[in-house]
Each structure stands twice: as C-alpha cells, then as structure tokens.
Amino acid sequence: MASHYEAPIRRPLVIGEKSYHDVSVDVARPVEGQANRAWWIVFSISLIAFLWGIGCIIYTISTGIGTWGLNKTVGWAWDITNFVWWVGIGHAGTLISAVLLLFRQKWRMAVNRSAEAMTIFSVIQAGLFPIIHMGRPWLGYWVLPIPNQFGSLWVNFNSPLLWDVFAISTYLSVSMVFWWTGLLPDFAMIRDRAVRPFQKKIYSLLSFGWTGRAKDWQRFEEVSLVLAGLATPLVLSVHTIVSFDFATSVIPGWHTTIFPPYFVAGAIFSGFAMVQTLLIIMRKVCSLEDYITVQHIELMNIVIMITGSIVGCAYITELFIAWYSGVEYEQYAFLNRATGPYAWAYWAMMSCNVFSPQFMWFKKLRTSIMFSFFISIVVNIGMWFERFVIIVTSLHRDYLPSSWTMFSPTFVDIGIFIGTVGFFFTLFLLYARTFPVIAQAEVKTILKSSGERYKRLREAGESLVGTGADSRTSGSVIKPTMSVVGDKETLETTAETPVEKADQTDALLSRLGSFDPATQTADDLKRIKGIGPKMEEALNSIGIFTFDQVSKMTKTEYDLLDSITGSFPGRAERDDWAGQAQQLKN
C-alpha cells in the first residue's frame, strides 16, 4: 500500500470508478469505434483547407516566388513567420515527454501522447516553408552535406539557415523515436483487442512484437530515460538555433543576445497553448473527460501563465536595451513597432501574449474549460503576430528611407498558411482515429496512486489488495477481509465465487426476453458486425436468436454476456451490437 501512497490533498488525475479494464476500453474506443459526425465535419473542413494549400503551393512552384507579397526590402515575411511559428508549437511535445518525465510529473501521462504527435505534425509543417522558399524544391537536397553533381561544392556551414536544417531534422527524428517507443504498449493493447484479422496484423507489425514481459518493460523504461536525456537539450537548442537566424544578423531589432532564451520561452508558451487547444477538443470528441481532467487543464494554464510572463519580461528587456544602447537605429526600430504603420500588430501581440495569460492568476478562470480554450487560441494568435512583428517591422524600414516599403500578403501567402493548418489538423484527426490518444499503459501505472476510486478506498482505510481485479476479465474477484486472531487483526483474501452460469443466463434472458420457436423466427445474427459463426452458436446456446433480443442490450446485459461467454470481453459493447440490431430490426 505504501508504494501506491499519495497525499490525500492531491486531487485525483483519473476520476470515476475506473478499473484497469476500463482504461483499456475507454482509450481504445476512438480507434475501434465509428467516427462520429463532429469528426467528419472537422475532417472535411481540414481536408478542404489542405487541398487549397496544395493548389497554392503548386501555383507558387510553377509560377515563382513572385506570387508572394515579397519585395526588395521585405525579403522574408509570411514564410519565415509561419516557419518559426510552427517550430515553436512543436516545442511543448518534447518538454512534456522529456523534461516532465525526468522530473517524474504524473500529470503528463494523460497529455504526453497527443503532445508528442502534435510535435511531429507541426515540425512537418515547419519544414515545408524553407523547401518552398527555395523556389526549386526538387533541389532541396543541396542543403545536405552529401556529394552532388557539382563535385567539390559543399554547403555553407556558416549559414544559420543550414543550422536550421540540422536542428529540424534532428528534432523530428528524435521526436519520432520517442513517440513510437511510447506507443508500443498501446499498439500491443489494440492488437490484443482486435477482432478483424487485418487489423490485428497491422497492429502486430506496429507493436514490434511487444509481449508485455518484464524484460520488455525494463528495456522500455531504459530507452525512455535515455531518449528523455537526449531530447531535453533539444528543447533549448532547436529554437535557440532558429533565433540565430535573426540574432547573428546586423539588422536593428534582430541583433540582440536575448533572442535565444526569449525564443525558447515563446516556443514553450505557444506549444502549450496549442496542446491545450487540442486536448480540450479531444476530451470532448473522444469522451475522455475522466482522464484529461480539469486539473490537467489548470496545470497547463499555470505553465502558460509562467511562460507568458517570461515572454513579457523579454519584451520589456528588449525595449530597455534599445533605449540604454543609445543606438538611434535600434531605438527607432522599436519605436516604429509600437507607433508605426504596423502598430496594430504590435499591440495585438502585447495584448494576446502579455495581458491575456495574466487572467490565469484567478483560479476560477484557469479552471474554466471554455475560458481556457479561448485563451489558448488567443495565445497562438498572439505568438503568430510576435513572429510577424519581429520579421516584417524590422525589415520594412531599414537604414535608407528611400527603400522603405510595406508588405501585404497575397492570396497565395494566405492560402499556403491555411493549407498547412488544414494539413496539421488532417494529420491529427487521422492520428486520433488510428492511434491511442492517451498513453493507457502509463495511465495504469498511476491508477492506484492517483485514481479517484483507489484514493477513496485508501482514505476509508480499506486495503487495495485485489482491487485491481475485474469481473469482466477475471474468473473471480479477490475481496480483502479482516479477521481477528487473538488481539491482532490480520488481512485475508478470499476468492469471490462467481454466480453460476445458469443463473447468469436466466438473469440475461429475463432482461432480453425469451425466444419461442413456435411463434418466432430466428434472425441471422451474423449480419451484426462482430458476430461470427461461433459467436452466433454461443448466443443461440444461451437462448438469444433474434435482433429484438440483442437490441435490448445495455451495459448491464453486455457485462452479463461477457461473463457467460468468457470470450472477447467488451467486444459487444464496443461494436454496439444493440444499435446494429435495432437498425436491422427496423
């Protein structure tokens, strides 16, 4: 019991009467069930945006970069703004996976899988922009230090843009390995629950032969810690290198040493905001409110509040250093941001990134789901404006007033950006339908310490021995009892004898109704997805012959049926036999 102890003052991270089997069923439901109407609506919108973006990219490559709103003065604009924005969003996944793992933070376990997926999908979007900006993306491999058709021509290692190539490729590869390693137990769980042979074969390949042996878990823990150690420096290095794209230049507004920590804090800030947005949507769409709780939302909001304050300090530091430096070009760059033609973008950035997170000091607001969702979107809008302000306002008015100009995006600029947003959500929605969105194996490790059911048992002074058993997956349930021997109380565990199958069958048929062969005709139950010849034979032996009987099943009847048949527990409920039978009956 001591190994599962957690202070009573800590709120549970898994709420409801959840057993280990419940965790498996709840996490597997979005993968095994049918997509609902909301999923199809969002997926359709995302796909349309993605296809529009593809059209704009094809138009750009076939016509030239002149289709963008760039000019001689503003040579970087929306493309690099979107690049830095997407890279920043990808930072939260590594932070949650690696840094919080090393600090043994339990609350990360319900959110890390989606955060890692978000990292990979956002880095893919970021990688598109430098390739498109090359103008000839089919020559993109020139940025790699490999022999090419020009013989001794090698890439310029002094260029920060080349550093981006190595930073992004390293970040993507390590994140992919980290993500996939954590998914192995979850893939194995889906594989073991799979009914269709093709599905079982696919998840068998994805799980790399995971068997759940002690050796598997030992290697899993060792590899996770090693990858966390490798990935932690990436949290700092990747966006530091991205900041060098600007900080190593001599452009007023860019040439500053504060950029590396400033960019890293901003990346974590925007990344956590995007994770917040996705989790609030996923907990509703996939019915995961018991695992992604208000406490998770509140903790995420606290991180957003802290990193937002750090970003605000960086803004103030920039202004102070520009004034203190005495360099009139630096001073004008920042004065132009706040009062020039792009002042609206600057103050939108300040409002979204500095002022809005301060509402999270109030517990009532940071525990509000709708307010948290609103602030997460506001923060990401503000972080996009931050990159836009840094890049465009520093370029559009340089040392020569004769070359001052304004930047206006074209429909192609806007279309490519919307296309990447559509691509991101398309990938994430497909991921949610094929991969478990919560790390069920890791959630189970904290169930006895942080689950509401087990915390209540501990607070009542009851033993946790045998409480992990589930009548749906075990032949008997172990119940702890206390017996007094002399002056001492001793704990005994006794097996609770299951109800006789005959009694269970009578109880099931009393709820579903009996079949009269003289007046009724048996239906072909194999028309229900999930019922094969053997299962139909088992149902017939119980006394279930018609769609009408199956359509009356609820969770109670499903549990009774699982207990009687003893095969594929949870399958009838998962495949919604009652709903299918109702449609077939009508």
Q: What is the pLDDT of residues 188-203, one digit of tens each?
A: 888 887 777 787 888 8
Distance CA 348, CA 338 (A): 11
Q: Residues 460, 462, 464, CA angle at the centre, nearest 5°?
A: 125
Inform me whether the pLDDT recorded for 491 exceeds 70. no
* pLDDT at position 482: 45
Which is it for the CA torsion 384, 414, 425, 236, positive or negative? Answer: negative
> Using DSSP, how many helices (H) and how many strands (E) does the chain show?
25, 2
pLDDT for the residue numbered 6: 61
Burial (CB < 10 A; 0-12, 13-18, 19+), residue 541, is exposed
pTM of the model: 0.76
Name residue, tokens 């990808």: 90
Give the pairing type, strands 477-485 and 488-496.
antiparallel
The domain covering 2-448 belongs, at the CATH homologous superfamily level, to Formate dehydrogenase/DMSO reductase domain (1.20.1630.10)
pLDDT classification of 377: cutoffs 50, 70, 90? very high
If you average pLDDT over residues 545-563, what whole number do you get? Answer: 82
CB 87 within 8 A of CB 460: no
**Contact present, 282 and 432 (Cβ < 8 Å):** yes
Provide Rg for the chain, Cα atoms.
Answer: 29
| Extents of the domains making up the chain | 2-448, 501-585
* Tens-digit pLDDT profile for residues 175-234: 888 888 888 888 888 888 777 778 788 888 888 888 878 888 888 888 888 888 888 888
Give the separation between CA 26 and CA 279, rounded to whole angstroms.
Answer: 16
Looking at residue 295, its pLDDT comes to 85
Terminal Cα-to-Cα distance of the chain (whole angstroms): 53
Q: Are 232 and 95 contacting, i.e. CB atoms less than 8 angstroms apart?
A: no
